[in-house]
Structure 1
Amino acid sequence: MLLAVLAANVVLAQSPGGTGYDVTGVDVDVSGADAVQARAQGIREARRKAFGLLVNRLVPAEDRARLPQIDDAQLENMVRGIEFVRERPAPGRYSATLNVVFVPDAVKSYLSGAGAKIVETVSRPALVIPLWKGPAGLEALNDRNAWREAWQQLDTAGSAVPVTLLRGDPTDQGVLSAEQAYVGDVSALARLNERYRAPTIIVATVEGDKTSGGLTVRGMRYDTQTGARSEIPPMPVASAADLPAAVKAIHAKADQDWRGIGTVRRDSQDSLDVVVPIRALSDWVQVRQRLGAIPSVKSMTVKSLESDRAELRLEFFGSPEELQRTLAQAGLSLSQEAGQWQLQAR
């Protein structure tokens, strides 16, 4: 069965989890009359910057323009806490990296009062394995090259797909080789993921000479919850200087694809009775696994299970039309025939 090892630990129903009201990795660099005032100004700026990122995450683009200006007092009341990841104070200057955690109810009240729809995107972290295949073959996992550096420079703050880069240290190399990552050895990827626990693994490869000539970027995305995988189509790159743009393109596509599945509109909910045709056990397993990885599916109740069909009751956020589009992006087809809804893997 496709990627059965990676999909072994899939959950069957989406549990209500974090709603994404924390913003991490907020960088500030401000000046003030003295160190105390500079620090206070830096914290205010961090709150404002984090709130902007949060709004981009929660509010559809068409609704953002209607939001009224918010003052520092209002913003302070929306913040539950601030974590000081790194501080670099200096006389009259404050430079730091902070994490800001907001109070969900306070943020929702402000946004709803402004007439904005709230779209909650459940984040889906990704582990990136950067590979370089040159004329002599694949470089080692710990090779320090322009491709790895491009991924290290990627800013995923506020993204639905925050990225962790493979360390490539002896522990990683003990369970996965560059060759195994390149060919998609799912057993080795699963062993590696016992360390990182990432819902998505992106194997991103550059092919070509490091010092001259054009390059080609390609790869694969692996969903460790459903076992699904998708190709990153080949992308020509003129030179190593253009690799950061290729990194952004790969990440933007992953972010866009996940937002299509992971976005939850909690202002409405509905339910449907559906039939899942079963020709083989793998049909039922595949549908169940993919449903379990969709945040807008609130719950799944098995009403009956027979050798050739299963009857389910789906409780979900949004409308049936929105559910159809979300399921399609997750590789599931929901259609209505003779007044009955049918659900099956595509």
Structure 2
Amino acid sequence: MAPRRVFSPVFALLLALLGAAPMAAAQVLSGNSYPVGGVEVDVTAANAVEARDQAIREARRRAGRMLVERLVPPEDRAKVPTLDDQRLEGMVRGVEFARERPVGNRYIATLTVVFAVEPVKAWLGEAGIRVVETVARAALVVPLWKARGGLEALDDRNAWREAWRGVDSAASAVPLLLLRGDQLDQDAATSEELFVGDVTALSRLNERYRAPTVLVVAVEGDKAGGALSVAGFRYDAQTGARGEIARIAVPSPDRLGEAAKQIHARLEEEWRPLATVRRDTEEALDVSVPIADLADWVRVRQRLGGVPAIRRVNVRTLETHRADLRLEFFGTPDELQRVLAQAGLSLVKEGEGWQLRAR
């Protein structure tokens, strides 16, 4: 007879609580809308009212272009039908104002334009275009500079910080948030703690920004000129995983912009296989998850929560040695297997059922 595993009441209670908690994946996608955030406008007109109205029209058009980049694979974008203002008006559910600053007859704002799913799909469907959504995952950028005398303060204004300001990420799969470096940030963490990857300091700092990913990128070298090197790491705030950023040689400070864009491009390349979601197909799959200890269950839950293709996870049964889940997802089972593999999860057919485990 196999030895019987005995778990403490505390462990069993933790398992139950974790099973009852809502899965993050169920909230990743909204079934009836496509929100497009970070749409910046700056319009001057005859008066303040005209400037605002014109800015909103411009924001809708710009958001429409950004939405196409998100939904349509590059090879299909030449087939996208023309979108006039009347058709666009019928697709927009609303406009949210993240930040606005009217100055006389000038209107400056950052907006979120929310599109209704069905009119968008109908518009693209006229050209036979299949909707494939790339779900954005924001990253907080922590730019550090290590000179001969040590690390600069978080509020240091240098060429490396400016290089990240110049990365246009609004329509990308990984939109960037730049660390402010003000007193609140300095109270949460020091440059030294962030440079070495102190997890407690990273978590404290990110309480303010709530970014899924924290990117710590450090330049080493003389600000005045000469060769520099850039390296760092990315920290997944959801799973706790850490990945190194390969060192990049930079010949001079005026080339730091290229390094920032290169790092961002790599992030996008790594995230897109996970971020691509086909909304035209939905399926459900019953899976079992072997549980050796609490850490096993936590790992699986966290990784499932980071997969946009998973629409909902229902915990059907939860025992000390296994959990039975029902996964509702976009796409096909074969596509789900590939996406889960990218997230560090193995989904395999065993007999008549499916088994899911962390790799």
* TM-score (normalised: structure 1): 0.85
Q: Report the alpha carbon displacement of residue 106 of structure 1 after superposing the two structures with TM.
A: 2.5
Q: Which moved more, 1:139-148 or 1:333-342?
A: 333-342
Q: Report the alpha carbon displacement of residue 258 of structure 1 after superposing the two structures with TM.
A: 2.5
Question: Which residue is equivalent to 1:85?
Answer: 100
Q: Which moved more, 1:94-103 or 1:121-130?
A: 94-103
The SS at the match of 2:355 is: strand
- Whether the 8 Å CA contact 1:11–1:292 is kept in 2: the answer is no
The SS at the match of 1:160 is: coil
Q: Which moved more, 1:64-73 or 1:219-228?
A: 64-73
Partner residue of 1:22 out of 36, 50, 62 = 36
Question: Which residue is equivalent to 2:183?
Answer: 170
The SS at the match of 1:194 is: helix
Matches within 5 A, 1:92-241: 96-97=108-109, 99=111, 101-104=113-116, 105-241=118-254
Q: Report the alpha carbon displacement of residue 275 of structure 1 after superposing the two structures with TM.
A: 3.1
Q: Report the alpha carbon displacement of residue 182 of structure 1 after superposing the two structures with TM.
A: 0.7
Q: Report the alpha carbon displacement of residue 286 of structure 1 after superposing the two structures with TM.
A: 0.5
- Kindly provide the amino acid, as one letter, of the partner of residue 118 in structure 1: V
- Kindly provide the amino acid, as one letter, of the partner of residue 39 in structure 2: G
- Whether the 8 Å CA contact 1:270–1:318 is kept in 2: the answer is yes
Q: Report the alpha carbon displacement of residue 172 of structure 1 after superposing the two structures with TM.
A: 1.1
- Kindly provide the amino acid, as one letter, of the partner of residue 331 in structure 2: G
> How far, CA to CA, are the matches of 2:141 and 2:288 in structure 1?
37
> How far, CA to CA, are the matches of 2:246 and 2:61 in structure 1?
38
- Whether the 8 Å CA contact 2:239–2:303 is kept in 1: the answer is yes
- Kindly provide the amino acid, as one letter, of the partner of residue 67 in structure 1: V
- Whether the 8 Å CA contact 1:47–1:100 is kept in 2: the answer is no
Partner residue of 1:12 out of 17, 23, 30 = 23
Distance 1:185 1:52, change over 3 A: same
Distance 1:153 1:74, change over 3 A: same
Q: Report the alpha carbon displacement of residue 337 of structure 1 after superposing the two structures with TM.
A: 4.4
Q: Report the alpha carbon displacement of residue 44 of structure 1 after superposing the two structures with TM.
A: 4.5
Partner residue of 1:65 out of 53, 78, 82 = 78
> How far, CA to CA, are the matches of 2:73 and 2:221 in structure 1?
40
RMSD after superposition: 2.8
> How far, CA to CA, are the matches of 2:328 and 2:92 in structure 1?
32
> How far, CA to CA, are the matches of 2:83 and 2:174 in structure 1?
28
Q: Is 1:286 paired with 2:271?
A: no
Among the aligned pairs, what percent are the same residue? 53
Distance 1:311 1:98, change over 3 A: closer
> How far, CA to CA, are the matches of 2:323 and 2:194 in structure 1?
37
Deviation by residue 1:243-279 (Cα, 9 ceiling, x = unmatched): 1111112122222323322332111122223333333
- Whether the 8 Å CA contact 2:81–2:124 is kept in 1: the answer is no
* TM-score (normalised: structure 2): 0.82
Question: Which residue is equivalent to 2:3?
Answer: none
Question: Which residue is equivalent to 2:62?
Answer: 49
Question: Which residue is equivalent to 1:4?
Answer: none
> How far, CA to CA, are the matches of 1:189 and 1:78 in structure 2?
40
Distance 1:134 1:23, change over 3 A: same
Question: Which residue is equivalent to 1:5?
Answer: none
> How far, CA to CA, are the matches of 1:65 and 1:26 in structure 2?
25
Q: Is 1:296 paired with 2:309?
A: yes
> How far, CA to CA, are the matches of 1:171 and 1:40 in structure 2?
36
The SS at the match of 2:224 is: coil
Q: Report the alpha carbon displacement of residue 120 of structure 1 after superposing the two structures with TM.
A: 2.5
Q: Which runs of 5+ in 2 are unaligned?
A: 1-17
Q: Report the alpha carbon displacement of residue 57 of structure 1 after superposing the two structures with TM.
A: 0.9
Deviation by residue 1:3-58 (Cα, 9 ceiling, x = unmatched): xxxxx9x953422444543243334668x8x6698877665444333211111111
- Kindly provide the amino acid, as one letter, of the partner of residue 328 in structure 1: A
> How far, CA to CA, are the matches of 1:101 and 1:265 in structure 2?
21
Question: Which residue is equivalent to 1:3?
Answer: none
- Whether the 8 Å CA contact 1:20–1:121 is kept in 2: the answer is no
Distance 1:89 1:113, change over 3 A: farther
Q: Which runs of 5+ in 1 are unaligned?
A: 1-7
Pairs aligned (count): 333
Deviation by residue 1:193-231 (Cα, 9 ceiling, x = unmatched): 221111111111111222232111111111111212211
The SS at the match of 1:103 is: strand
- Kindly provide the amino acid, as one letter, of the partner of residue 24 in structure 1: G
> How far, CA to CA, are the matches of 1:227 and 1:109 in structure 2?
40
- Whether the 8 Å CA contact 1:28–1:45 is kept in 2: the answer is no
